[in-house]
Amino acid sequence: MKSRLSIDIAKSLLMARWRQTLVAAIGVTFSIMMFIALLGFMTGLNIMLDDLFVNRTPHVRLYNEIEQNPNQPIKNVTIYNGYYHFISSVKASNSREQIYNSAAIIHTIQKDKRVLGIAPKITTPAFFTEGSARISGVINGIDVQEENRLFHFYDYITSGSGTDLKVVPNSIVLGKVLAEELLVYIGDLVYVTTSTGEVFPLKLVGLYESGIRDYDKVQGFTSITTAQKILGKPANYVTDIQVKLNDIEQAPGVAKEYSHLFGTQAVDIQTANAEFETGSFIRTLISYVVGITLLIVAGFGIYNILNMMIYEKMDSIAILKATGFSGRDVKKIFLMIAISIGLFGGTVGLFLGYLLSLLIDAVPFKTASLPTIETYPVNYNPLFYCIGIVFSLVTTYLAGLFPAAKASKVDPVIIIRGK
């Protein structure tokens, strides 16, 4: 019975100062709305940028890197043992980029249950000839079907067809910027000069646009069979083995394991994109900090309003205590007021935040550097809405805790005697 009476009293106090209550609720509403919209937009932006890099980056990449031989002849001379050796013009110990026994390595990796898929690749420098001029670039020989399945290759083909690369012999897909510099269009012949000086005509079947201009300025893609033919290499010639895992977090450990097992260099996605991941983390952190700051500011507003309410309602508090309400009951009433403001403002803020997110998501965002993006990216993760309502309740509870504690300590005798 007393609980129901406490609720009625809290409701009466709220309605007695409904303007101040509304201002406090609007503060919470605005904070939650901006928290949801800002966090959804920033994490959506992070996901979009992740897609640009992570979707096209193998979780583990196996390759052979040309490196210096650590065992120099001077080390075999015993009289120089224990000395520092300063050697210039050290020759490379490995001058071959081919991965040895690649077929057996691929077969072994395919049996690993941690692996989602494998895409072999050939990477080689080349010159794209335009009249007497030669533009330096890179040709990537890919397994078209696996490249699309694992790295969404077709999504970045803005003109032509990616499937033609698999079915049309001696064909190539060029970065859009590179094609513009060569003044070639779909169906034209592109002349490629290898490091040995041989010239190969390839039919242009598509234009590739990654969103990174410098990347699109040098890249060309052809089938792995055509790349082997251009280089005059056998069918088992591969320079890279791209591995995608079921769990990206396992990449560092798997890279070390494969490097030791197969005797090749291996790099994981976390190492290759450390700076990018740091940027994504900082952007998300800033979003949380801004949102929480808005909620704290709204909490101070609730604190001030409840403080003023206590000063104005000293007579009412004294009467409540004189009629049998304990300090704990009075504290509960004012906490009900604070939590009611937080619940109402938070709920409305979630709804308005969702509407604002929909509005942002509908705004056109077209740029030549991001051909696959049509509107601003927004993330509608339900976790953000749960965090928002929890933060609104916690903030308003803490804001009302101190005024409620002050109200519970009011001495009714002193108040009534003063009157």
Is 306 contained in some domain?
yes
The interaxial angle of helices 314-322 and 327-362, nearest 10 deg, is 130
For the residues of 112-170, what is the DSSP string, one character each? -TTEEEEEEEEEEEEEEEETTEEEEEEEEEE-HHHHHHHH-GGGGEEEE-STHHHHSTT
Is 82 contained in some domain?
no
pLDDT at 194: 81
Is 216 contained in some domain?
yes
Is 84 contained in some domain?
no
Total structural domains within the chain: 2
Is 81 contained in some domain?
no
Distance CA 198, CA 263 (A): 32
Name the nearest CA neighbour of 168 among 192, 189, 137, 191.
Answer: 189
pLDDT at 331: 76
Distance CA 343, CA 302 (A): 13
Distance CA 22, CA 326 (A): 28
Residue 166 shares a structural domain with residue 67 = yes
For the residues of 220-261, what is the DSSP string, one character each? EEEEHHHHHHHHT--TT--SEEEEEES-GGGHHHHHHHHHHH
Distance CA 352, CA 347 (A): 9
Distance CA 9, CA 15 (A): 10
Signed CA dihedral, 88, 91, 92, 95: sign only: positive
User: Given 249, 269, 289, which residue is the final one in a domain?
Assistant: 269
Residue 290 shares a structural domain with residue 236 = no
Residue 174 shares a structural domain with residue 236 = yes
Residue 132 shares a structural domain with residue 227 = yes
- The DSSP 8-state label assigned to residue 23 in this structure reads H
Residue 284 shares a structural domain with residue 235 = no
Residue 138: which residues within 8 A CB-CB, separation 6 or more?
A: 123, 124, 125, 126, 218, 219, 220
Helix, strand or coil for residue 269?
helix
Distance CA 349, CA 190 (A): 57
Residue 115 shares a structural domain with residue 245 = yes
Is 30 contained in some domain?
yes
Residue 203 shares a structural domain with residue 280 = no
CB 65 within 8 A of CB 404: no
Distance CA 386, CA 402 (A): 26
Distance CA 209, CA 159 (A): 9
Name the nearest CA neighbour of 207 among 151, 149, 171, 162.
Answer: 162
User: Given 241, 269, 297, which residue is the final one in a domain?
Assistant: 269
Q: Which residue has the tokens 């000069």?
A: 193
pLDDT at 369: 56
Residue 111: which residues within 8 A CB-CB, separation 6 or more?
A: none
Helix, strand or coil for residue 418?
helix
CB 215 within 8 A of CB 175: yes
Question: Per residue of the chain (419 residues), what is the pLDDT tens digit?
Answer: 456 766 777 777 667 666 777 777 787 788 888 888 888 888 887 777 777 666 778 889 998 876 666 666 767 777 777 777 777 666 655 556 788 888 889 999 999 899 999 999 998 888 888 766 688 889 999 999 999 888 888 888 888 888 888 888 889 999 988 998 888 889 889 999 887 778 889 999 999 987 777 888 889 999 999 999 888 888 889 999 999 998 888 888 999 999 888 888 888 887 777 655 666 677 777 777 776 777 677 667 666 766 666 666 666 666 666 677 777 777 777 778 778 887 888 889 899 999 999 998 888 877 655 666 778 888 888 888 888 888 778 877 777 777 777 767 766 666 555 55
Residue 326 shares a structural domain with residue 377 = yes
CB 63 within 8 A of CB 264: yes
For the chain, the distance separating the N- and C-terminal CA atoms, rounded to the nearest angstrom, is 30
- Cβ-based neighbour number of residue 22 at 10 Å: 15
Residue 187 shares a structural domain with residue 47 = no
Residue 281 shares a structural domain with residue 399 = yes
CB 365 within 8 A of CB 378: no
The interaxial angle of helices 382-408 and 327-362, nearest 10 deg, is 150
Is 83 contained in some domain?
no
CB 176 within 8 A of CB 158: yes
Residue 212 shares a structural domain with residue 283 = no
Strand bridging mode 189-193 / 115-130:
antiparallel
Q: Which residue has the tokens 């003109």?
A: 159
User: Given 269, 293, 321, which residue is the final one in a domain?
Assistant: 269
pTM across the whole model: 0.64
Here the tokens at position 204 are 């242009």
Residue 212 shares a structural domain with residue 142 = yes
Is 200 contained in some domain?
yes
Domain of residue 35, residue span: 2-54+276-418
